[in-house]
């Protein structure tokens, strides 16, 4: 059974104290999760250690990094390596968020390097893809996201690709309040799964969780997550409010 995931992406928000309170408020709601359901909190680098005290005892709650560097280590001032993440017990890492691609010039090739390092160090990459508005308006979103997958993931073997979580996040829906309709999300998630099936196999495609991201809210999560190929969400704004994120976790199927 595919994992159903509610992933919070705090981005560059909250002080450590605010983050700690938010995490405690969410965890103290003690939402009963099924074995195939999990929550992931992608927190800023200096807060990752928070996970060791607050989250790691809870089997279905995990901490993620929002980014890592594409090189193994060395003279890269200010960067954080995958090995460093592993050394403090981080289990997940977002790779290729559209904000990284846009503001920090991350290419598909660089993201392929990050994915490789994550897998080598047993960190599950949450690989983001998604098209900007002009591509959607030209109805070229399928080709666009398929290329992102091909260039960053399709060098992996069957066992490796099944370690990856994919997040489809249309750029026009991120932080804008405009959410993709459930039909739009389902359509492209199904398409992504078919692209994976033709590269690998239907079984492999069926095992990979594909999250939707882009203005997921307490009020639309249940409908989005009910779509057969939507396996949860990667949530920015609404993950910063305990009550909202609690409702989003409860919307997992």
Q: Which residues are catalytic?
A: 97, 169
Angle between helices 182-199 and 141-153 (to 10 degrees): 40
Smallest distance from the beta carbon of 123 to ligand PGA, in angstroms? Answer: 18
Q: Which of residues 8-47 bind ligand PGA (CB under 6 A)?
A: 9
Which residues, 6+ apart, have CB-to-CB distance to 110 below 8 Å? 70
Q: Of 12-20, 47-55, 148-156, 213-221, which part binds ligand PGA (CB under 6 A)? A: 213-221
Total binding residues for ligand PGA by CB under 6 A?
Answer: 13
Interface with ligand PGA (CB under 6 A), residue from 110, 126, 129, 216: 216
Closer Cβ to ligand PGA, 9 or 186, answer by number: 9
Smallest distance from the beta carbon of 83 to ligand PGA, in angstroms? Answer: 25
Q: Of 50-58, 196-204, 234-242, 245-253, which part binds ligand PGA (CB under 6 A)? A: 234-242
- Cα–Cα distance measured from residue 231 to residue 142, given in angstroms and rounded to the nearest whole number: 19
- Cα–Cα distance measured from residue 164 to residue 167, given in angstroms and rounded to the nearest whole number: 10
Cα–Cα nearest to 167, from 250, 235, 69, 121: 235
Alpha helices in 105-181 (DSSP H): 108-120, 133-137, 141-153, 158-161
* Interface mask toward ligand PGA for 165-184; x: CB under 6 A: ----x----xx---------
């Amino acid at each position: 059974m595919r994992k159903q995931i509610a992933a919070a992406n705090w981005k560059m928000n909250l002080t450590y104290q605010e983050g700690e309170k938010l995490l405690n408020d969410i965890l103290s709601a003690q939402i009963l999760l099924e074995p195939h359901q999990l929550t992931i909190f992608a927190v800023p680098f200096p807060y990752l250690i928070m996970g060791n005290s607050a989250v790691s005892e809870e089997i279905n709650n995990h901490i993620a990094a929002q980014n890592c560097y594409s090189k193994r280590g060395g003279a890269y001032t200010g960067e954080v390596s995958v090995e460093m993440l592993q050394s403090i017990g981080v289990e997940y890492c977002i790779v290729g968020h559209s904000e990284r691609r846009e503001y920090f010039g991350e290419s598909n090739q660089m993201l392929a390097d990050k994915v490789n390092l994550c897998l080598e160090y047993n960190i599950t990459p949450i690989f983001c893809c998604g098209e900007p508005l002009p591509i959607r308006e030209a109805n070229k979103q399928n080709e666009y996201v398929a290329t992102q997958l091909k260039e960053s993931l399709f060098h992996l073997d069957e066992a490796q690709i099944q370690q990856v979580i994919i997040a489809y996040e249309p750029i026009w829906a991120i932080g804008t309040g405009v959410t993709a309709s459930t039909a739009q999300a389902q359509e492209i998630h199904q398409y992504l799964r078919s692209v994976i099936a033709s590269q690998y196999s239907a079984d492999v495609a069926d095992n990979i969780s594909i999250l939707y991201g882009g203005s997921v809210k307490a009020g639309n999560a249940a409908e989005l997550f009910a779509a057969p190929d939507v396996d949860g969400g990667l949530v920015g704004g609404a993950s910063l409010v305990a009550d909202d994120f609690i409702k989003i976790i409860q919307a997992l199927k």
